[in-house]
Amino acid sequence: MRKIYLSVVGFSIICRIHAHAQTRPDTNYHKKETIFTPNVAEPDTDSYRPRSLRIDEIDLVSSYYKQNGDHSAVTGGIGTEKVTDISNGITLNLVWLNNAMNKNTLAVGLGFDYHSSASQAFVSATGASKTGGTRLYPSLDWTVENEKKGTSFGIGTYYSGEYNYSSLGADLHFSKKTKDKNGEFGAKIQAYFDNVTLIYPSEFIPKTTTSTVIVTTASGSTSSGGGKVSIPTSLRNTYTGSLSYSQMINSRLQVMLLGDVVAQNGYLSLPFHRVYFSNGKDTIEKLPSSRFKLPLGFRLNYFLGDNIIIRSYYRYYMDNWGIKSNTVSLEVPVKISPFFSVSPFYRYYNQSAAKYFAPYEAHSPTDQFYTSNYEFSKFNSNFFGVGFRMAPPKGVLGWQHLHELEIRYGHYTQNTDLISDVVSVSLGFK
């Protein structure tokens, strides 16, 4: 699945740039959606199966993202949300057979982003703050597949880091096909352990005239230094359990059910997000230290003849912060020739507001929790675009090793006046 839909994953990542850049995703934290095609029984036509380690495929994806809006959380729900992001990633897929003739796949990935955000400058009251940053995110996933039993088991680990946070993640995943190979059950557990750097707006940084500075974090720990503040960090943990079941109903119709349970705890606010109360005073965002999320989804693929596929998806989401949302998407790949296809797509999303959200100068000073981050507001959005895919048998542009090229463009609008555009290019090498 990774090789065909890497650009879709790239879209998902790039459309969810980190909170310091004030993007507002339509999916829950750390959730990555991919287009689904169930496994079907296929005869093994390979007369020779090499057991030694070999490179099966190399995937490259590059994306450019740009957005604008006027509800920045850094300035309390007003101000610029202008962001640009350039993302590049490579995945190296290694394959070998072990002594039991089980297929082993090792996917080694490395991603690098550079992003700029005009609103970051306003973390400092003087507008002199850092306005750009880089993110590095390597990954490693090892999967063992037993074709005779129809089972697979794998483990993965991930790291992501930039100037204001670092994250370490791991997962275990398992799948089991039905006896007729037309259905498949999947399960995955994931954990992410984040360190959030407590970068406060400049007017809230403790002032001192002594040679020792003591800073207290949200978790109660302290740090000190001789005349220089050492910026502390605070923990944020995310745990996810996922279940899925796919079934081929007949030769044309495939369905899939998906369900997640997500629990978060720790420092779930961002310290450089301001909140302005109704009395004109300001402070930093304060949110509960725990959150529970429940997304439930359904996919349906229908093969309309030999040249058209209808891919549809619906997801319902709720959490204990009061947000409820609905996502509906449709993508229709059309095969123009045996080696070239066009895929228009559309996604609609709506959500209710979190009970802790209020816009600029609308919070009461007596509120226990408060945020003016429009990610938690009531809104609806539209995301539409088109993808182009080439996979000629002699290679793209006659280069045999470049077996696939995909280009996708998407335009996103929110009724809060947030707009964005994203372009991604995916290359697959054999």
**pLDDT tens, residue by residue, 165-190:** 899 999 999 999 999 999 999 999 99
Q: 386 in a domain, yes or no?
A: yes
Averaged confidence pLDDT in the chain:
85
Structure confidence at residue 164 (pLDDT) = 86
The strand ranges marked E within 118-220 are 132-146, 151-162, 165-177, 183-197, 212-216
Query: Does residue 10 register a pLDDT over 70?
Result: no
Count how many Cα atoms sit within 13 Å of the Cα of residue 414 in the half-sphere of its side chain: 22
Answer whether 14's CB lies under 8 Å from 84's CB: no
Q: 180 in a domain, yes or no?
A: yes
Q: How many domains does the chain have?
A: 1
Mean pLDDT computed over 42-47: 42
Work out whether the CA dihedral 8, 11, 12, 13 comes out positive or negative.
Answer: positive
Highest mean pLDDT pick, 1-10, 51-60, 68-77, 123-132: 68-77
SS3 121: helix
Question: What predicted TM-score, i.e. pTM, was given to this entire model?
Answer: 0.83
Q: 48 in a domain, yes or no?
A: no
Cα–Cα distance, 351 to 319 (Å, whole number): 11
Q: How many CB atoms lie within 10 A of CB 207?
A: 6
**Band (129; pLDDT cuts 50, 70, 90):** low
pLDDT tens readout for residues 16-28: 333 333 334 343 3
Query: Does residue 318 register a pLDDT over 60?
Result: yes
Mean pLDDT computed over 131-150: 93
SS3 251: coil
Mean pLDDT computed over 53-65: 95
Query: Does residue 1 register a pLDDT over 70?
Result: no
Mean pLDDT computed over 296-318: 96
Structure confidence at residue 52 (pLDDT) = 84
Cα–Cα distance, 381 to 348 (Å, whole number): 6
Q: 46 in a domain, yes or no?
A: no
| Nearest partner of 408 among 62, 32, 37, 115, judged by Cα | 62
Cα–Cα distance, 386 to 411 (Å, whole number): 10
Cβ burial of 101 (10 Å; 0-12, 13-18, 19+) is exposed
Of 202-216, 340-354, 360-374, 414-428, the one with minimum mean pLDDT is 202-216
Query: Does residue 425 register a pLDDT over 80?
Result: yes
Q: 47 in a domain, yes or no?
A: no
Q: 49 in a domain, yes or no?
A: no
Mean pLDDT computed over 260-272: 96
Q: 45 in a domain, yes or no?
A: no
Could you tell me what percent of the chain has a pLDDT over 90? 71
| Nearest partner of 34 among 18, 56, 58, 13, judged by Cα | 13
Structure tokens at 195: 């360190």
**Band (229; pLDDT cuts 50, 70, 90):** low
Mean pLDDT computed over 347-369: 97
Q: Cα torsion at 100, 101, 106, 107 (round to 10°)?
A: -140
Range of the domain at 333: 6-40+54-429
Query: Does residue 15 register a pLDDT over 70?
Result: no
Rg (CA), the chain: 23
Answer whether 31's CB lies under 8 Å from 393's CB: no
Cα–Cα distance, 424 to 88 (Å, whole number): 9
**Band (49; pLDDT cuts 50, 70, 90):** low
Q: Cα torsion at 371, 375, 376, 380 (round to 10°)?
A: 150
Structure confidence at residue 50 (pLDDT) = 59
Q: 192 in a domain, yes or no?
A: yes
Structure tokens at 298: 């359904």
Domain CATH number, residue 15: 2.40.160.40
